Structure 1
Amino acid sequence: MKKIGLLILVITCNLVFAQANRFIYEVSMKTDSTDRNTVKREVAYLDIFQGNSVFYSENRVKRDSLIAKGRQTGNFNFDRTQMQSLRSNMNYIIEKDAKSNKKLLKARIMQDEYVYEEERPMNWKILSETATIGDYKTQKAETNFAGRKWSAWFTTDVPVQDGPYKFAGLPGLIVKVEDSKGDYSFDLKESKKIGSIATFEQRGSPINVKRAVFEKQQKQFQDNPIAAMATMGNRNARIQMDANQLKQMEERRKEENRKNNNPIELK
């Protein structure tokens, strides 16, 4: 009986420690510099397990789930209003490996998935200022990254050197981080245990590039989406649309780009 009890205890402990942690953030974004009164908000998840983490938009995973279901059933007659409501301003996934200190950004440009490793260091200055945010006692830190000055509040109550987006490297979990202009803010709202960190459907092999190459491809698509289709391996998508559909898509993309002129990374 003692052996059985010990076995149950071991199994129970393994199940507990095999769980991943999910930290749920509200992300506030002013993506249009000409309309600073409009703030876009989304929910994002930071899933952490054994030193690895993945950060992604809730809308992204919901939208991908619907599309995957459509592939399985062959039914792509999605509710247009529902799909529109699941569009995200965070069309990327950030993966971090605490052991190797690697940060990867994965993002789609049309049907192609690109991956690049973030090579820029994030040098933090930890300040003496403290504050209580929600249930957490936090301390302030600052850094300059990608053209913005950021202030972060981290807690040592959660011994995880991670945070939303590409932010990491402080001696505790980042509870809040915002830029000095008030354009972007990540605020921790909830945390819970989950069975495992999220995985995402992958269409073919990802294209590994340098950050500069990814940004060039992204800009080419934003400036001229129709021409970009022919050069990024998306000819199938082009064939499936007639001239009128292509024109409508291009006009829609250009209007979206006009209103999304204030990216999180300025340089």
Structure 2
Amino acid sequence: MENEGRFAPLLASLATVALAAIVLLSPSGAGGQQIPDQVSAQALRVCADPANMPFSSQSGAGFELEIAGIVADELKLPVRTYFMPQGPGYVRNTLGKRLCDVIIGYAAGADPVLHTNPYYRSVYALVVKKGGPLDGVDRLADPRLKGRRLGLMAATPPADHLLELGLLPSARTYSLLVDRRFDSPAEEMLADLAAGEIDGALLWGPTAGYFAARAGTPLKVVPLIHEAERPALAYRITMGVRHTDHEWKQVLNRILLTRAADIEKVLLAYGVPLLDEDDRLVTAAAGSKAP
């Protein structure tokens, strides 16, 4: 996924690891839930990328930082964010060096961290022009995609599906490993879609939903919920902590359960395609499920 990056296949997207800065994002508060000894009791210390919208940004925008605020509110603590571009050594140089105590978004099953319970599940999406020739396509096996030029991030799971369906030769790939402070392949892909240089764009759901809503051309985001199971296109996203921080994981799990409705509201506001465990889309209507 683009931020595909930290989602197993997926998401971590920045090749250059820059110097990080600690930024205070919210005021201090009274002590809340009991904080395990191995993590800071003065603030919720969050690891984040400084230029990775819609997930996080140095300005404090991004749904992961908003969710960090929800967790901090439950803990009655301020948020302090340690910013470092995602790339090789990200976990080692953030959590591993105890410069922060949690990564807000991490693909379930990825080894570098101990995972909390998932707090959302999303899926790759096909983005097409509203009213265009591909409006109405809801799966990659649709015959209307034959011969079409689809954009996708290099080395991400949709590539395997396109290969299986004979759609890869006509596809255009975009770089995954870039420094997002200077390049935005997802926005470039959608600009190419608007210009007619490609016919559809395959992006990790949160990225697709966020940037499609901000494109100058009306675009439609189609979550790919009808595809073959391998390789997976849907992923559960957790919070990541150090492998030794079992008590801290349980504190976060309790907060994720208590504040699930608030977290879901933030995700939907950012256009994240949310799936329940039956692969049904969760809509903004009070967490209702689309048929």
After TM superposition, the score normalised by the length of structure 2 is: 0.21
Query: Which of 1 and 2 has higher RCO (CA within 8 Å, sep 6+)?
Result: 2
Per residue, is there more helix in 1 or in 2? Answer: 1
Per residue, is there more strand in 1 or in 2? Answer: 1
After TM superposition, the score normalised by the length of structure 1 is: 0.22
Larger Cα Rg: Structure 1 or Structure 2?
1
